[in-house]
Amino acid sequence: MRGSAIDLIALDADDTLWHNERSYRAARERFGRLLAVAGVARSADDIDAHINETELMNLPYFGYGVSSFALSLIESAIALTEGRIAATDLMNIVELAKEMMSEPVELFAGVREVVDELAASYPLMLITKGDLLHQTAKLDRSGLRSCFRFVEVVSQKTPAVYAEILSRHGTEPSRFLMAGNSLRSDVVPVLQLGGWAVHVPAHLTWSHEHADVPEALTGRYRPVAAIGELSTVIRQLLPTH
Amino acid sequence: MRGSAIDLIALDADDTLWHNERSYRAARERFGRLLAVAGVARSADDIDAHINETELMNLPYFGYGVSSFALSLIESAIALTEGRIAATDLMNIVELAKEMMSEPVELFAGVREVVDELAASYPLMLITKGDLLHQTAKLDRSGLRSCFRFVEVVSQKTPAVYAEILSRHGTEPSRFLMAGNSLRSDVVPVLQLGGWAVHVPAHLTWSHEHADVPEALTGRYRPVAAIGELSTVIRQLLPTH
């Protein structure tokens, strides 16, 4: 794009381009039914809170992704039943993880068009957290692989991680824009680094991904109502010179 | 290195630079004792064969790494006990995985010296299969992070994967050398691509990683007895011009 102030646009994947959290919510529901059958008389909120706590404790060991989630569900099931859950019920959790790993990738409405449009004007990068194999498999299945010049699967999305990626690609933060559904992972660290960020809200977002955008950093930040608006907002947001 | 025919040297990590398989063997032994206590009257070889089969079936879902291994152990334990294993025994497997994820990284003898020496003459790349978080955490803990200009954590090591990495870095396969302990992952695919490869045997290597080097490809291939010989062999192997 002639005169653009941006050299590189990066997009998040899960819950930005395609459904993801929906699959975790469905898994949590199945998990709840499994526990109910095993005689656990706890509310869904209570069980969810226990899973969240276990996941966060396990992040330093197992990172993000379905395998990590499955191990946390197994651990939660054992804790919540005080060891009384049957091994065959735990096998259902392993099978659930395999289903999550192999389920089809469903793009949000408008993604195909907006990614095509952006790819025509900018080099695009996918920056996604999670399991390497699963993330690259989902990109392949999404049909969007050819739109992305670069793919970065990372363990976490901190300012330091973004800085390392940008340095490797020789891109100044001030000439970089990131769009994604997580304020915590896609927006705030990029703004802190001096980059541009667009928040694309997802219908469902993991509770862990919420954050506030500091007032001082809103100059390079815009929210959109839906991903279809992304290219329009990017045109409006960026100074051309 | 003046006159060198090589632009980039890549090294494998697990069982090439540091102990890894040893930790999996120890886990398998603990798993065997767990099953024995649970009343499984099978030989160690029999149990190992079952784990291997389960791991290979699960590779397309969970990939390589400790989380995948843990899920395969849980699945094997449930199958081998026909669902009779106690949930608390399965929790031991989850705990075992956390221990594996956080255990110290122990370099093989001579690694520090040879990596320092190579890094002084060539840009070094680490190319390793497995869990992204765990692999980068191990590199940080190894003290070798600063020796590697590039780090690639991949889901598999096929000729196509190597080709993609080299293309991204603008390196011709004929000017690339890979060294590692796996004939299947580190040597054969690189030779097939037209690159150079050095096999560094490990005391312990996962059975899945064995392969034969095709006769026609041995011109750019050398085995060494130990990693300490790597820089000497690279000097002898490469034509200078």
pLDDT digits (tens, 9 = 90+) for B2-19: 446 899 999 999 999 999
Choice between A51 and B219, residue whose per-residue pLDDT is larger: A51
Q: What pLDDT score was predicted for residue A77?
A: 97
Long-range contacts made by residues A78-83, C-beta under 8 angstroms, separation at least 24? A78/B87, A78/B88, A78/B90, A78/B91, A78/B94, A79/A50, A79/A54, A80/A35, A80/A40, A80/A42, A80/A47, A80/A50, A81/A35, A81/A38, A81/A39, A81/A40, A81/B87, A83/B86, A83/B87, A83/B88, A83/B91
pLDDT greater than 80 at residue A210 = no
Query: Per-residue pLDDT tens for B62-104?
Result: 988 899 999 999 999 999 999 999 999 999 999 999 999 999 9
Query: Tokens at residue A70, please?
Result: 């499955």
Are A179 and A10 within 8 A, CB to CB? yes
Residue identified by tokens 């080299």 is B166
Which chain B residues contact residue A62 at CB under 8 A?
A: 67, 97, 101, 133
Q: What pLDDT score was predicted for residue A81?
A: 95
pLDDT greater than 90 at residue A90 = yes
pLDDT greater than 90 at residue A219 = no
pLDDT greater than 50 at residue A1 = no
CA atoms of A60 and B174, how far apart (whole Å): 39
Alpha-carbon distances, residue A3 vs A6, A7, B213 (angstroms): 9, 10, 53
CA atoms of A173 and A164, how far apart (whole Å): 11
Q: What pLDDT score was predicted for residue B138?
A: 95
Q: What pLDDT score was predicted for residue A44?
A: 92
Query: Per-residue pLDDT tens for B170-185?
Result: 999 999 999 999 999 9
Average pLDDT over residues B129-144: 92
Are A71 and A58 within 8 A, CB to CB? yes
Contact B74 A90 (CB under 8 A): yes
Measure CB to CB from residue A75 to each of B67, B86, B94 and give the nearest one. Answer: B94
Separation in Å, CA of A228 to nearest CA in chain B? 30
Which chain A residues contact residue B65 at CB under 8 A?
A: 67
- Interface residue of A69, A71, A156 to substitute, partner B, most B CBs within 10 Å: A71
Query: Per-residue pLDDT tens for B30-50?
Result: 999 999 999 999 999 999 999
pLDDT greater than 50 at residue A114 = yes
Average pLDDT over residues A138-165: 94
Q: What pLDDT score was predicted for residue B240?
A: 54
CA atoms of B137 and B145, how far apart (whole Å): 10
Nearest CA in chain A to B164: A150
Q: What pLDDT score was predicted for residue B241?
A: 42
**Phi and psi, residue B233, nearest 5°:** -65, -40
Q: What is the mean pLDDT of chain A?
A: 91
Q: What pLDDT score was predicted for residue A112?
A: 96
Average pLDDT over residues A67-94: 96
Average pLDDT over residues B115-124: 95
Nearest to A213 by CA among A228, A226, A196: A196
Which chain A residues contact residue B68 at CB under 8 A?
A: 67
Nearest to A70 by CA among B199, B93, B149, B154: B93
Provide the pLDDT confidence category of residue B207 given band limits of 50, 70 and 90. Answer: low
Q: What pLDDT score was predicted for residue B238?
A: 67
CA atoms of B14 and B23, how far apart (whole Å): 11
Average pLDDT over residues A63-88: 95
pLDDT greater than 50 at residue A227 = yes
Choice between A37 and B130, residue whose per-residue pLDDT is larger: A37
Element (H, E) at A19: none
Provide the pLDDT confidence category of residue A238 given band limits of 50, 70 and 90. Answer: low
Beta-bridge partner residues of B196: B177
Q: What pLDDT score was predicted for residue B82?
A: 95
Separation in Å, CA of B111 to nearest CA in chain A? 26
DSSP B110-175: THHHHHHHHHHHS-EEEEEES-HHHHHHHHHHHT-GGG-SEEEEES---HHHHHHHHHHTT--GGG
